[in-house]
Amino acid sequence: MTDFPWLTLAIALPAVGAALVALLPRERIESAKRATLGATVATLLVVAAMAAQFTPAGAERLQFTEVYPWIPRFGVNYAVGVDGIALVLILMAAVLVPLVVLAAWRENDDAPDGGKGYFALILVLEAMMIGVFAATDVFLFYVFFEAMLIPVYFMIGRYGRGDGRRAAAVKFLLFSLLGGLLMLVSVIGVYVYGGTFLWSDLVGSDSALAGIDPATARWLFLGFFVAFAIKAPMWPVHTWLPSAAGSSRPGTAVLLVGVLDKVGTYGMLRYCLEMFPGAATWFIWPVVVLSLVSIVYGAVLAIAQSDMMRLIAYTSVSHFGFITLGVFVMTTQGQSGAALYMVNHGFATGALFLVVGFLVARQGSTAIADYRGVQSRAPVLAGVFLVSGLAGLALPGLSPFVSEFLVFVGTYAFHPVPAIIASVGVVLAALYILWMYQRTMTGPLPEKLSRLRDLSRRETLAVAPLIALLVVFGVYPQPLLDVVNPAVEATMRSVGATDPEPEIGGAETAAEGDHE
C-alpha cells in the first residue's frame, strides 16, 4: 500500500479534527477534548501504519511520495515524501501530540472558552508539523514553515501564563517572521537560479543549482540558515525561546521545544547542506563556533535560572548546539547522532516539561524556590522528574546518551578541539539538572506542600510512554539507527562529504609502508 496517500491522510486527519472541534458549541468542552484526543490517536495510527511499510534501504530515498500541481504557472507543487530522518521526526510529533492532549486535559479550564480553542489549535499545529517534515517542494515547505506560527502565537498569547504572555507571543512572532522573510528571499532565488521548487531536482551533483555562482550560493544558504537558526534556536538569535517557553502552558512548551524547534535543525540538514553543499562547506567553522557557544552559553544560563520553565528552555539552547554541531561536522556519526538527538531530545524535554506542568497545576508556580521535599509526598512524580532530568543530561542507559555519544565521536573525527570544548556542556548539564532536582525534590517538606498529591492515572498515562521510550531506545537504539543511517549516508553522498580516515589506522599503514 505504498501508493496510498498516507502523508496526505496524516495531514488531513488533524486538520479536519480541528475544524470539527472549532464548530462544537462552547458548552461541549468535554466532547471537544475527546474529539481532539481521538483525532490525534487516529493520526498516530496512520503514521505508525505508514512507518511499518517504510523500507530504510529501499531503492528510492523518498518514499510515500505524492506530487500534484498546485500553482502550475509558478512551478509550485503539492509534493510530499519522507526519508528515514523525516519519518522519525513525524513519528515523534505523532507520539507527542496525544500525550500533550492528555496532560493538558485540565490545563485550560480557566480560559474563557474552557480551552476548546486551545485543543483546536493543537490539531492545526499537528497538521502543520507533519506537513513541514513531509514537504518535498521548497515553496510548500516555506508555506508550512510560516503557517505554524499562527497556532503557536495564539497558544502562547491567548492561552499562555502570566501577564507577559502577549509580549512573549509577539516576540516569538517577530523573530520568526524575520527569519521567514529571509528564507522567502532565498526561496525565490532558488527558483530563479534553479528553475524549480522540487527538492529532488535541486540536490545532487547534477542538480539544477549545480552551476550556480559560489558567492550567490552562499547568500542563498544564509537566507535559509538564519531562518533555521532562529527556529532552532541558536545563539545569538535564541532570546525569544526563554520568554516563549516561560509564558507558555507546559503542553505548548512541549510542542514548541520538542517538535517545532526541530524544524530548524531538520532544515539545516535537508535544505542548507544538500541544496548548497559548497556554501555549507565554506561555512563549516563559523557554524561550529556558533554551536559551541550555544552549548556552553545555554548551559551556563540554565544554571542561573530560578524558574523551571525558563531553565528547561535554556537547556534546549545548549542541546540544539549539539545537534547543529553534529550536522555541520560532515561526518556520518555526527549527522546520525544529530538526527537521533532531534528525536530523543523531543521525548526527554517533553517529559520534563510535562512533569513541571503537573507541579504547576498543583501549586500554581514555576519558581524553583516554591518547591522542596516533593519526593516525600509525591514519589512517582519525583521519580519521573529524575528520569527525565537524567535523560536531559544524557545518562548512559537513556536514549539521549546514544545521540550525544555519536555527535562527540563524529565531532572528534572532524577535529578534536570542538569535541573537547563541547564536553564542557556535559559537565554543566549534570550541574543544572541535579541542582534543580535537589532544590525541588529533596529535603524537608514545607507545610504549604503538605497536601501535594502524586500523579493521577491520566497524568501517569501521559508521561509513561515517554519514559518507556527513553529507556527502550537507550538500551536498544538500533531500530531508530536502521531507519536514520541510510538517509544520513544519502545526505553525505549528496553533499560530497566523506568520513575522515582514522588517524591510528593511517599511522599503522604508513609504518607498514616504511618497513617494506
Q: Which three cell numbers stand for residue 122?
A: 493543537
Q: How far is CA 160 from CA 107, 111, 115, 165, 250, in A?
A: 10, 10, 11, 6, 9
Q: Which three cell numbers stand for residue 212?
A: 550556480
Neighbours of 279 (CB within 10 A): 22
Asked, for residue 75, whether it belongs to a domain, the answer is no
**Residue 432 is part of which domain span?**
283-497
CA-atom Rg of the chain in angstroms = 22
Instruction: Tell me the torsion sign for CA atoms 320, 321, 326, 330.
Output: positive
User: CA 301, 302, 304, 307: dihedral to nearest 10 degrees?
Assistant: 130
Q: Cell 519558581 maps to which residue?
A: 367
Q: How far is CA 303 from CA 310, 315, 318, 420, in A?
A: 10, 9, 12, 21
d(CA 31, CA 424): 49
d(CA 366, CA 360): 6
- Give exposure, 376-393, as e/b (b: 16+ Cβ within 10 Å): eebeebbbbbbbbbbbbb
Asked, for residue 445, whether it belongs to a domain, the answer is yes
C-beta of residue 330 within 8 angstroms of C-beta of residue 491? no
Number of domains in the chain: 1
Q: Which tens digit of pLDDT belongs to each residue from 36-92?
A: 999 999 999 999 999 999 988 777 888 999 999 988 888 889 999 999 999 999 999
3-state secondary structure 12-38: HHHHHHHHHHHHCCCCCHHHHHHHHHH
Asked, for residue 309, whether it belongs to a domain, the answer is yes
Asked, for residue 33, whether it belongs to a domain, the answer is no
Asked, for residue 228, whether it belongs to a domain, the answer is no
Asked, for residue 233, whether it belongs to a domain, the answer is no
Q: What angle do CA 136, 141, 147 make, to 5 degrees?
A: 150
d(CA 130, CA 2): 18
Q: What angle do CA 462, 147, 76 make, to 5 degrees?
A: 125
Q: Which three cell numbers stand for residue 217?
A: 550560493
Asked, for residue 354, whether it belongs to a domain, the answer is yes
pLDDT, residue 514, reads 47
Burial level of 513, CB count in 10 A (0-12/13-18/19+)? exposed
pLDDT, residue 1, reads 58
Q: Which tens digit of pLDDT belongs to each residue from 97-127?
A: 999 998 888 777 666 766 788 889 999 999 9
DSSP 443: S
367 by DSSP, 3-state: which? Answer: strand
Q: First and final CA of the chain: distance in angstroms?
A: 59
* Low-confidence spans in the chain with pLDDT less than 50: 506-516
Question: Is pTM beyond 0.85 here?
Answer: yes
DSSP codes of every residue in 53-122: T--TT-SSSSEEEEEEEEEGGGTEEEEEEE-HHHHHHHHHHHHHHHHHHHHTTTTTTTSTTTTHHHHHHH
C-beta of residue 367 within 8 angstroms of C-beta of residue 114? no
d(CA 331, CA 294): 20
Q: What angle do CA 28, 33, 35 make, to 5 degrees?
A: 95
Asked, for residue 268, whether it belongs to a domain, the answer is no
